[in-house]
Structure 1
Amino acid sequence: MSNRTPISEVTLVGFPGTPEYLDSSISAIMFLVYIISLVANGSVILLVIFSVHLHQPMYLIIANLSASDLLFDTVTLPKIIGKYWFGAAQMPFRACLFQMFCVHCFGTVDSFLLLLMAVDRYVAICHPLRYAAIIDIRKIVLACGLCWVVLAPSTIIVITARISQIVLCDRDKINTLFCTHTAISALSCTDVSSLRVVAFTSALVVLLACLALIIISYILIIREISSTHSENWGKAFYTCTTHLLVISLYYVPRIFVYIVTNTPLLKIQSEINVLLLCLYSFVPHLASPIIYFLRTKEITETLRNVLRKKVRSFPPLNY
């Protein structure tokens, strides 16, 4: 240990084993992914902010979810694009720590927001007469603020502080697309198995606890829908399937990757692991706003009205 010099810079490997001639194609795909995410999630956020009739609890939660996804992509994708486009694979270790904190923090924000969305739908469908008394804009703003400022950072800030103190010797390659706790701890010279266990347990508890409460709430919702004879049961079921589709995009791949990467008997190749990480990190961020546009009537109509106004504002062409 005395002959080793701790490093202050790490190198992103990206997709391990990919030949150099694919760099331009990968960077172009990642750039397209970021542009789609920017446009789709940004549109949802702007529509909810500037459309008064969308100032409702459910749409406020959706806007926060889009903001979290957009920030996640902004923290990760530009560096990936720069690595493949310009060969800028190096980054300071402190920047890597900051990226790791943001990655895990925004992922946790998504979990809490999806739980909040499930609670909102449960109250709206199972207790419609009490909905306005239980849930309003002020309470949702407070709940979202707690997710952003207290709940999500508290789950990762201690782990980030501890991992910032590890010594990185000889190895400086992050064998994935962005800095994560697992990727950074793999560079340590010392035994960090206890820290890995704490981080994995913390992530899994948050993930599974939120998922368990979401499942319970939707079981109660489905039971309420199946037992009611109201004319609005079809709309309620349609709304629930939309939310369940978004929830599945976020949770199913993530839980699979967590289990596979932390189970010795289920080890997979690093190339496949990085591909799975890419899919569960970025695909939900692209798909969820598109799902909301296609399956949420109020958001779709608001977007159509905005586009019509923009088209009408253009001056007529003179031939």
Structure 2
Amino acid sequence: MIYTNITTIKDFIITGFPGLHATYYGPVSALLFFTYLVILAGNIFILVLIGVERRLHKPTYLIFSHLAMNDLLFGTVTLPKIISRYWWDDKIIYFGACFTQMYFVHALGAIHSLLLLIMALDRFIAVCLPLKYPVLITNNTISIACGLSWIGTLLRMIAVVLHALTLPYCDSNFIVQCYCDHISITRLACGEDVKYVKTVALGLAMFSLLLPLSFILFSYFSIFLVVMRIPNTEGRYKTISTCTPQLLISCLYYLPRCFVYLSNAVGFTFSLDVRIFLILLYSLLPCAVNPVIYCFKTKDMKDVLMKIFKKAKIGMKQVSK
């Protein structure tokens, strides 16, 4: 068959979970809406708290604020459309809107990975090179590093989207996923260049994930070795506690992805609905859970929250009197 570079598809249809019975559309949309509210409330709270409290104007919390912004944007990019798909049966997404969603989905995912790298670097220097930490890690250096991660990735991802747009789309217009991503879209493309476009995108995706992951593993392994050389148990616990939030956040992002990729590599396959659920879970779970980790696993944030709660409690007692 001869393909011309002509796209006949004008819009796409978001199928979500293909095997889901219409009876469950209401509960699923309500669950997704609740998840979106949790993501909004948690990450906006973190951004406001870090912005208002001068005590939190430190490099570590600046990284947390960038992660919170990333999680907030990711939830906003992905969830409203799939919620409306199950709430109002609004499953059509226009061609340009689908590519725009794909752009932000992959850009925000790559930015998240780079922010985790910066976070690991912060902890690596704090534990392994403590005397150099005040010089190397400042609010300015962290702001520049995070800013470059955003700008560089957003620019790079334009090339990925434009590359996908060179393909003609003349096959089915069903996106078998809860949102538009590169794999789901290019699966619907025609022509001889489809494999090449997919290979280039996969290579960039693996680079964006595996390079930060390699350094993250190296940094936490180095931290572990340093901790093991600390003579007293209290010193070990104190050092580990400063890295626990970052380690939990990194695990929450990478472990489910690695599980899915490795399962496919060894030939263990999931049903289509289960696979879509796992992708949605590892995409959205960090967005919802990260604010809880920030608040309850970091000393400064816990102290600030306790101070706020004590003031609120005193205020309520005064009003009741």
Q: Partners in 1 of 2:285 and 2:78 — Cα distance?
A: 14
Q: CA deviation at 1:235?
A: 1.6
Which residue is equivalent to 1:15?
17
1:252 aligns with 2:227: no
Secondary structure of the structure 2 residue equivalent to 1:113: helix
Identify which of 77, 80, 97 aligns with 1:78: 80
Which residue is equivalent to 1:174?
175
**1:147-194 Cα distance to aligned partner (Å, 9 max, x none):** 1111x2244221110112322224111100000000000111224111
Q: Partners in 1 of 2:99 and 2:266 — Cα distance?
A: 26
Kept in 2: contact 1:10–1:172 (CA 8 A): yes
1:233 aligns with 2:236: yes
Identify which of 137, 142, 165 aligns with 1:140: 142
Which residue is equivalent to 1:271?
273
Identify which of 284, 287, 295 aligns with 1:285: 287
Amino acid of the structure 1 residue aligned with 2:272: S
**1:250-270 Cα distance to aligned partner (Å, 9 max, x none):** 001123334556x59454321
Gaps of 5+ in 2: none
Q: Partners in 1 of 2:201 and 2:155 — Cα distance?
A: 12
Q: Partners in 1 of 2:68 and 2:7 — Cα distance?
A: 42
Q: CA deviation at 1:15?
A: 1.1
Once the two structures are aligned, what percentage of the paired residues are identical? 35
Which residue is equivalent to 1:187?
188
Q: CA deviation at 1:312?
A: 4.8
Kept in 1: contact 2:249–2:290 (CA 8 A): yes
Kept in 2: contact 1:155–1:202 (CA 8 A): no
Amino acid of the structure 2 residue aligned with 1:158: A
Which residue is equivalent to 2:166?
165
Q: CA deviation at 1:232?
A: 3.7
**1:28-51 Cα distance to aligned partner (Å, 9 max, x none):** 000010111111111111111110
Secondary structure of the structure 2 residue equivalent to 1:11: strand
Secondary structure of the structure 1 residue equivalent to 2:319: coil
Which residue is equivalent to 1:304?
306
CA RMSD of aligned residues (A): 2.0
Identify which of 215, 223, 246 aligns with 1:213: 215
TM-score, normalised on structure 1? 0.92
TM-score, normalised on structure 2? 0.92
Kept in 2: contact 1:176–1:274 (CA 8 A): yes
Secondary structure of the structure 2 residue equivalent to 1:168: coil
Gaps of 5+ in 1: none
Identify which of 311, 315, 319 aligns with 1:316: 319
Q: How many residues matched?
A: 315
